[in-house]
Amino acid sequence: MKKVNQRRNFLKQSGLIGAASLVGLPAMAFSGNANRKSLPYVNFTRDGLDFSTEDYAKRLVEITKAKWIAIDSYSNGGVVAELEKKMANALGKEAAVYMPTGTMANHVAIRKLAGDKPRVLVQAESHIYNDSGDTAQVLSNLNLVPINPGNTQFTLEDVKEQANRVDNGRVKTGIGVISIESPVRRKNNEVFDYAEMKNISAYAKENGIGMHLDGARLFNVPAHTGKTVKEYAELFDTVYISIYKDFNAASGAILAGSTEFCKDLYHTRRMFGGSQPNAWPFAAVANEYIDSFPADYQKSLEKAEELFNSLNAGYKLKKIDNGSNVMKLHVLNADPRETQLALLEKNIKLNNPTKDFKGFYFKINPSILRVELKQLVKYFTEATK
C-alpha cells in the first residue's frame, strides 16, 4: 500500500492526476503530453503513435524542411494528390480521393454505389450502422439493413436471404451495395473471413451489387491473416482507409476505387462540406508512414507477443479469435489499476482496466518499437510487484 501511495503521489506531483482523481484517472493523465519527456512514449491504446500537439507540430516542421510540400487547394492537388496516388497504389486501385473523415468516405461511397437501388446490407455491428448518426439513411434516403447482430461475420446465405426478401416485395426495389467493415471496431477489431468475403464479392458481381469495404484499419490485417491489402481490396469496388489511425495524421481518410468512380467525386465531397481548404497538414504526415507501416506493424506485433509471452509470472496474453491489433492482457496477481499507474510512470500507456476480465484490452502499434524489449520486460515485471 505504501508503494501504491508513492505512485499516486508521483503522479499527483507530476500533474498527471489531480487530488479528485483517485477513483478514475482523467483522460489527460493518459495523454502522451506530460512531464515524462525523458522517457520514450509507448502506448497500448491507439492504432498509431499518438502524437502530442507539440510533437505533431515538430513532425510537420521536419517534413516541410526535408522536402517541398506542395499545398493543396480545397483538398485537391499538391501533397494530397500524392497521398491519393500512394494509397491507390498500395491498394491496387486505379484512383483515390481524399475525404475529411471515415464517416464521409463510407457515406459517399455507398451513396454513389447504390445508384437507384436503395437497400444496403451492412453488419449490424458496423460503424456506418451505429456510429454515423444514420447519415446514409437521413441524407441519402438509403435503407441500411443490419445483418447478424452481435457478430463480425455474415455469410453469403445471409445475403441471399435479403435478396429473397427484396424479390418478394410488392414494390420493386433492390440491393445496391454490400458494405463490409473489417476489422470491426465494435468487435475489438475482429477480421471478416476472407473466404466468405470472396464468395459474397462473386455473388455481388454476378448480381450487379456494389461492394464497399470500410477498411479504416485494413493495413493491420495482413500480419494476422497472411492476405495482402491488395487481395482484400480487389474484392471491393471501393475501399475506405483512415489516415488518422495507422498513419498518424491528425485527421483524414482516403476513398479508393476505379478511375471512373473517383472522377469528379471531389464535387460530392464539396457538396457535403468536406473539402477543407487545406488538408496538407494531414496528408503530409500520413505520406511519411504508409510505406513503412506494414513492416513496422509486423515487427511491433512480434515484439508485443514476445514481450507478453515472456511475462509468465504476472501476466497472461490471450488473443481474440479472428483478431487483429487488439489483444487481451490478463493480470494474474496485481491490481490492474496499480499496474496501469506503475507503467504510466514509465511513460507507457495502457487502457483503463476492463470489466470483461481482470486486466486490459490493449492495442499493438509501432510505438512499441521505441523501447527495447528487455526494458519493456523490466517495466511490466516491476508493475505487478
Which string of DSSP letters, residue by residue, matches 118-139?
-EEEEETTSHHHHSSTTHHHHH
Is 81 a binder of a copy of itself (CB under 8 A)? no
CB of 98 to a copy of itself, least distance (A): 12
241's grid cell:
482507409
For a copy of itself, how many residues bind (rule: CB under 8 A)? 56
Q: How many helices (H) and strands (E) does the chain have?
A: 16, 12
* Half-sphere exposure (Cβ direction) of 186: Cα atoms closer than 13 Å: 16
Whether 16 and 34 have beta carbons less than 8 Å apart is answered as: yes
CA angle 381, 384, 385 (to 5 degrees): 95
The reply to whether 104 sits near a copy of itself by the rule CB under 8 A is yes
Distance CA 343, CA 339 (A): 6
Which letter does DSSP use for residue 354 in this model? P
3-state secondary structure 268-334: HHHHCCCCCCCCHHHHHHHHCCCCCHHHHHHHHHHHHHHHHHCCCCCEEEECCCCCCCEEEEEECCC
Site string for a copy of itself, 335-364 (x = CB under 8 A): ------------------------------
- Asked if 173 is part of the footprint of a copy of itself (rule: CB under 8 A), the reply reads no
Interaction residues for a copy of itself, span 15-74 (CB under 8 A) = 27-28, 31, 33, 52-54, 56-58, 60-61, 63-65, 68-71, 73
89: contact with a copy of itself by CB under 8 A: no
Task: Quote the cell numbers at residue 276.
Answer: 477543407
The position carrying cell 483503463 is: 352
DSSP state of 79: H
Nearest residue (CB) to a copy of itself, 7 versus 59: 59
- Could you count the other beta carbons within 10 Å of the beta carbon of residue 382? 14
Task: Tell the smallest beta-carbon distance from residue 183 to a copy of itself (Å).
Answer: 17
Nearer to a copy of itself, 160 or 267 (CB): 267
Residue 56 Cβ vs a copy of itself, minimum distance, rounded to whole Å: 7
Q: Interface with a copy of itself includes 135 (CB under 8 A)?
A: yes
Report the residue number, 107 or 303, with the smaller CB distance to a copy of itself.
107
Nearer to a copy of itself, 26 or 169 (CB): 26
For a copy of itself, which is the closer residue by CB, 79 or 307? 79
**Nearest distance from C-beta of residue 90 to a copy of itself, angstroms:** 21
Q: Which of residues 241-280 bind a copy of itself (CB under 8 A)?
A: 244, 250-252, 267-268, 270-280
Which one, 107 or 224, has the nearer CB to a copy of itself? 107
Is residue 200 at the binding interface for a copy of itself, with CB under 8 A as the rule? no
Are 214 and 207 a contacting pair, CB within 8 Å? no
Among 284, 329, 343, 376, binds a copy of itself (CB under 8 A): 284
| CA-based nearest residue to 352, from 131, 29, 42 | 29
- The least distance separating a copy of itself from the CB of residue 62, rounded to whole angstroms, comes to 8
How far apart are CB 23 and a copy of itself at their closest, in Å?
21
Using the minimum distance from each CB to a copy of itself, give the nearer residue, 131 or 167: 131
Q: Which residue lies nearer to a copy of itself by CB, 149 or 277?
A: 277
3-state secondary structure of 220: helix
Which one of the spans 105-113, 173-181, 314-322, 368-376 is the region binding a copy of itself (CB under 8 A)?
Answer: 105-113
Segment holding 163, helix H or strand E: helix 156-167
Q: What DSSP state is assigned to residue 66? A: H
Which member of 13, 26, 134, 332 binds a copy of itself (CB under 8 A)? 134
Cβ neighbours of residue 322 under 8 Å, at least 6 residues apart? Answer: 152, 153, 190, 191, 193
Decide: is 105 part of the binding site for a copy of itself (CB under 8 A). Answer: yes
List of residues contacting a copy of itself (CB under 8 A): 27-28, 31, 33, 52-54, 56-58, 60-61, 63-65, 68-71, 73, 79, 99-105, 107-108, 132-135, 138-140, 244, 250-252, 267-268, 270-281, 284
